Amino acid sequence: MNNVYITPRSITKEGHPSLEKLKEAGFELIFGPPGQQPSEEEQLKILPECVAYLAGIESIRENILKAAKNLKVISRNGVGIENIDLKAAEQLGIKVRIATASNAQGVAELAIGLIFSSIRLIPICNTYMKKGEWHREKGIELEGKTLGIIGCGNIGKRVIKMALGIGMNVIGYDLYPDELFNPGKNFKYTSIDEVYNKADIISLHSPPSEMPLINTNSISKMQRGVIIVNTARAPLVDEKAILKALNERKVAMYATDVYTREPPELNELITHKFTICTPHIGGYTSESVDRAAEAAVDNIIKELC
């Protein structure tokens, strides 16, 4: 029994040279559907014959883990593990490993890209031009503006450094602030309420929370015309609250790379004039995919060889 089930969309679509390490170590590779998340039916069919699971962001539920009698390790090609039933994995003795910081730079750069796109309304202007309409939208400049970061881990810290380089002031909230992190005089840790109250732009880089961090109450504390960027997790934002705020222009722009269901169904938030939506591309760079795949493969080999 030496099968490894491989499901990350970037790998099943394009392959990756790091998989040769698994073959050299004597493993047989079984791939999920190319460029798509596997269904629960596919997981239940294949995983019982596997000792390792090189997993993407698909849901891995308790019933799947219980059926996978030979499974010893789940190795994510990223850092998010809220899609895995961790309690069931622990009870069944299945190790869960992550590719630490593998996609941090890619996600951080996307967040900065979405900030630029939001303040200059680039997607809106692009749409007008493609329709043959010369319609200019007035933007704002970032220098001197305040960026609020919620979640100052590997990704958040990179966004902070880039924002400081642009000339922004940055305030950050984290449950466990790294007091050794001192990127410059224009950064400080603060309370989450101060982020809500003072930030011109808020960028989310937080782990899952029990309730949305962007909700009716928190939006009421924000400045009128705030921009919100979410490259972290969809449940951090109450979609109904953000849609209402966009319609009332309390929130000037909402840019997101993450969705409760992927791919999402077309809805009023996605089609809104003042949203920017990307298809979960934060970690989808050549460099991030390489780092994540290599780390995920190495974690399997470390656990099983």
Distance CA 195, CA 213 (A): 11
pTM of the model: 0.92
pLDDT in tens, 82-132: 999 999 999 999 999 999 999 999 999 999 999 999 999 999 999 999 999
C-alpha distances in Å from residue 138, one per residue of 121, 242, 285: 8, 22, 31
Instruction: Point out the catalytic residue in the list 16, 233, 239, 294.
Output: 233
Statement: residue 252 has pLDDT above 90:
yes
Q: Is 233 a catalytic residue?
A: yes
Instruction: Point out the catalytic residue in the list 28, 137, 262, 287.
Output: 262
Q: Are 192 and 139 in contact (CB under 8 A)?
A: no
pLDDT bracket for residue 205 (50, 70, 90) = very high
Task: Compute how many other C-beta atoms are within 10 angstroms of the C-beta atom of residue 50.
Answer: 24
Q: Is 61 a catalytic residue?
A: no
The yes/no answer on whether domain 104-277 falls in CATH 3.40.50.720 is yes
Statement: residue 282 has pLDDT above 80:
yes
Statement: residue 44 has pLDDT above 90:
yes
Q: In what order do the strands lie in the sheet with 146-150?
A: 187-189, 169-173, 146-150, 201-204, 226-230, 251-256, 275-277
Distance CA 183, CA 20 (A): 40
Backbone dihedral angles phi then psi of residue 120, each to the nearest 5 degrees: -105, 5
Statement: residue 195 has pLDDT above 80:
yes
Distance CA 172, CA 272 (A): 29
Strands 169-173 and 187-189: parallel
pLDDT for res 1 = 76
Instruction: Point out the catalytic residue in the list 158, 280, 291, 294.
Output: 280
- As a whole number, mean pLDDT of residues 265-274 equals 98
The CATH architecture to which 3-102+285-304 belongs is: 3-Layer(aba) Sandwich (3.40)
- Per-chain mean pLDDT for the chain: 97
- As a whole number, mean pLDDT of residues 135-139 equals 97
Residue 199: strand, helix, or coil: coil
**Alpha helix segments (H runs only) across the chain:** 9-14, 19-24, 40-46, 62-67, 86-91, 104-119, 122-130, 154-166, 192-198, 216-220, 239-247, 286-304
CATH 3.40.50.720 placement within the chain: 3-102+285-304, 104-277
Backbone dihedral angles phi then psi of residue 188, each to the nearest 5 degrees: -150, 150
Distance CA 302, CA 280 (A): 29
Backbone dihedral angles phi then psi of residue 162, each to the nearest 5 degrees: -65, -40
Residue 29's Cβ-side half-sphere holds a number of Cα atoms within 13 Å equal to 22
